[in-house]
Structure 1
Amino acid sequence: MRLAIITLTKKARGKGLEIKELLAPTNRFKTIDVFTLSKYSDDKTIPMDKGFKDTVSKIFNSYDSLYFIMASGIVVRTIAPLLKSKDVDPAVITSDEDGKFIVSLLSGHLGGANELASLIAENIGGIPIISTASDVSGSIAVDTIAMKLKAHLRDLESAKDLTALIVNGERVELKLPKNMVVDIDSLNSEKTKYVKKDTAGIVVVSNRQNVMMTQIIPKNIILGIGCRRDTTAETILDAIELTMKECNIHMDSIKHLATVDVKADEIGLLEICDRLDKKLIVIDRDQIKPIQDNYEGSDFVEKTIGVRCVSAPVAYLSSNKSGRFIKEKKRYNGVTVSIYEESK
């Protein structure tokens, strides 16, 4: 790795040389060059004979990482016209002249700026400032995985989408070819789980030009439905589709719908079951009463039909009772929808 340390003052030059001496024994860098203004330069530094801006423009793509010991504002204004894409831009970090705060400014993951900021901070007793969401949340970004594997990201947009799943606590699985070994401990974190069930996304590591993939959708989703009398089929379907979309659940995964006995003849609900070609399971109110306090209830519903809630308990009671609620209750125009996922 080639590192350029860029300074503008005599004090910053001294700090740059100090950091070079501290980093050299780590054997992480092929080259560490310290740049400074001509008036502060000596045989240990490289003079910026044509000025700061011109020098940065010239060396920006010649180094893997650039460390500016100066205010972030001047750095941002200088490098802005030079930026291309996160998969080609070098890592950029900045710090104050005392090295108290080491800021990862650009290419935190693919360029390694986050890791570099942490390394420098560790060696000089500074504080690394890292603001990327995955690092703040204690998880890992897809582009960090690519960087650790010394691999290329084929699609930045999908990598961003999958990283968002990870940051938001979803489970993302890492698929590797048999001939590749990865130190999972170096990738893993408390919030990033490489598991096979309940997977929201997949990271595929492969050198094949075309990777064939398909999806098999299990029918393990139970919808508990509650609604006002004479609610239209269109309103019920809108509520179902909205809730399923919000939870990122495929409509083809629906196993059956469930409701309470007083809704067994609800025309709109029966029509929806017919449209979706799904069975409607009817749960008696006497079955709901013993477990109704486990769910959010309503005095109005209890006064109207004798139980405090409908959608969540009927979903649970009509299931194999081995699973979890993905959505316990979603209200929409007089319709309540609960999504229960059976695990086996």
Structure 2
Amino acid sequence: MNIAVFSVTENGRQLSVRIAEALGAEHRVSRYCFHKHTDDNAAVFWNMGSMVGRLFERSDAFIFVCACGIAVRAAAPYLGTKPDDPAIIVMDDGGRFVIPVLSGHIGGANHIAELLADSLGVTAVITSSEDDAGSFSLESFAAANDLIICDSKAAKEISAAVLHDEKIGFFSNYKHSGLPEELTEFGICRTGICIDTNTDLKPFDVTVNLVPKNIVLGISCKNDTSAEALENAVTSALDGIGIKRISCIAAVDEVPELCSFCEKLGIPMKKYESAELDGVEAKCEQMVLKSGGKLIIKEKEFDGISIAAAEAPVFLDFERKS
């Protein structure tokens, strides 16, 4: 995840250093300090709202070490829809509490808050009703298993049904761990979850379709490849497969526009050394097959851009945390 940490005071600056150390091993953490209280390892801002706006589209999470009201006012103008908004977390500069404010489940704010609580010895204040009840959370499950929620309205009905102790149906052909007690694969249920690439499947009156984000793309292109040509090539190669299903892009060379493309979509890049693919004709195919998946798009060329794709295996784990 790309995580931006904002601080305002000297105490906040010191806490931001500890936050970066706690999360830096697994995430890309950048620190932003108010100009009066900064250091050589942080970027400087004079106006928090303006800086948040510049970073909003390319950040997966914001951690604000300041008053909750300041954080809300800084992020509010840029908020869109629930599935697309980044995680918003607030920590007081006294280092007592960490509060996930937005995108607790889908964006992973609750999980980040819990990580910081464990690492820094602060108290995580989780207000999501499913978490308080210790019951199944559709959003947490989807985030932890890289699943795309296709219908937010139906997802809300599932959450409401869980809170009212209504049994939730479950349908999927993917292998999975044991189901939580709220879900069942048997009997007739009004609401239910369907995990499949076919979103036309509606086994229940109220069906939430979840689609796995498990497409691995192998791409080879020249340094002067344009962003437009790259996007057109990917769209043509996928041929109806949603671009949101891409989980990783494999490449040999770090072409600037390819790196920007991955950053824009929040997709990790797996880089292979040329020596690993010496003597291989279909390099893109070999790269995606290293994911352990099944080749679904043989290597094709689109205006000088070579692309292949594989579908990585899926195992649904109800104990996995995002």
How would you bin the TM-score normalised by the shorter chain?
A: 0.5 to 0.7
- Describe the shift of the 1:182–1:63 C-alpha distance in structure 2 as closer, same or farther (beyond 3 A): farther
Secondary structure of 1:203 counterpart:
strand
1:45: which partner in 2? 42
1:279: which partner in 2? none
Offset at 1:142? 1.8
Partner AA of 2:91 in structure 1: S
Partner AA of 1:76 in structure 2: V
Of residues 167, 189, 195, the one that matches 1:205 is 195
Offset at 1:214? 6.8
Distance 2:63 2:41 in 1: 17
Superposition pairs for residues 100-115 of structure 1, below 5 Å?
A: 100-115=96-111
Q: Would you say 1:133 and 2:123 are equivalent positions? A: no
Q: Would you say 1:123 and 2:102 are equivalent positions? A: no
Distance 2:130 2:139 in 1: 11
Superposition pairs for residues 153-164 of structure 1, below 5 Å?
A: 153-164=149-160
Superposition pairs for residues 169-248 of structure 1, below 5 Å?
A: 169-177=165-173, 180-184=174-178, 188=180, 192-194=182-184, 196-197=186-187, 199-211=189-201, 213=203
Which structure dedicates a bigger proportion of its chain to strand? 2
Q: Which has the higher contact order (CA 8 A, sep 6+)?
A: 2
Would the aligned equivalents of 2:171 and 2:185 in 1 still touch at CA under 8 Å? Answer: no
2:56: which partner in 1? 60
Would the aligned equivalents of 1:70 and 1:96 in 2 still touch at CA under 8 Å? Answer: yes
Offset at 1:74? 1.2
What TM-score do the two structures reach when normalised by structure 2?
Answer: 0.60
Distance 1:35 1:84 in 2: 23
Distance 1:118 1:173 in 2: 29
Partner AA of 1:2 in structure 2: N
Offset at 1:198? 6.2
1:22: which partner in 2? 22
1:96: which partner in 2? 92
Superposition pairs for residues 70-81 of structure 1, below 5 Å?
A: 70-81=66-77
Distance 2:172 2:68 in 1: 39
Offset at 1:39? 2.8
Distance 1:148 1:198 in 2: 27
Q: Would you say 1:142 and 2:132 are equivalent positions? A: no
Secondary structure of 2:23 counterpart:
helix
- Describe the shift of the 1:123–1:192 C-alpha distance in structure 2 as closer, same or farther (beyond 3 A): farther
Distance 1:195 1:52 in 2: 49
Unaligned runs of 5+ in 1: 216-344
Offset at 1:141? 2.2
Distance 2:37 2:93 in 1: 15
Secondary structure of 2:146 counterpart:
coil
Would the aligned equivalents of 1:67 and 1:92 in 2 still touch at CA under 8 Å? Answer: yes
What TM-score do the two structures reach when normalised by structure 1?
Answer: 0.56
Would the aligned equivalents of 2:98 and 2:117 in 1 still touch at CA under 8 Å? Answer: yes
1:167: which partner in 2? 163
Identity of aligned residues (%): 25
Which structure dedicates a bigger proportion of its chain to helix? 1
- Describe the shift of the 1:213–1:140 C-alpha distance in structure 2 as closer, same or farther (beyond 3 A): closer
Partner AA of 2:171 in structure 1: K
- Describe the shift of the 1:93–1:183 C-alpha distance in structure 2 as closer, same or farther (beyond 3 A): farther
Offset at 1:181? 3.1
Would the aligned equivalents of 1:142 and 1:163 in 2 still touch at CA under 8 Å? Answer: yes
1:290: which partner in 2? none
Would the aligned equivalents of 1:10 and 1:40 in 2 still touch at CA under 8 Å? Answer: yes
Secondary structure of 1:199 counterpart:
coil
After superposition, give the CA deviation of every residue in 1:87-125 in whole Å (9 maximum; x if it has no partner).
Answer: 000000101113211101001111111111111111111
Offset at 1:23? 2.4
Partner AA of 1:192 in structure 2: E
Secondary structure of 1:60 counterpart:
helix
Tell me the C-alpha RMSD between the 2 structures. 1.9
Unaligned runs of 5+ in 2: 206-322
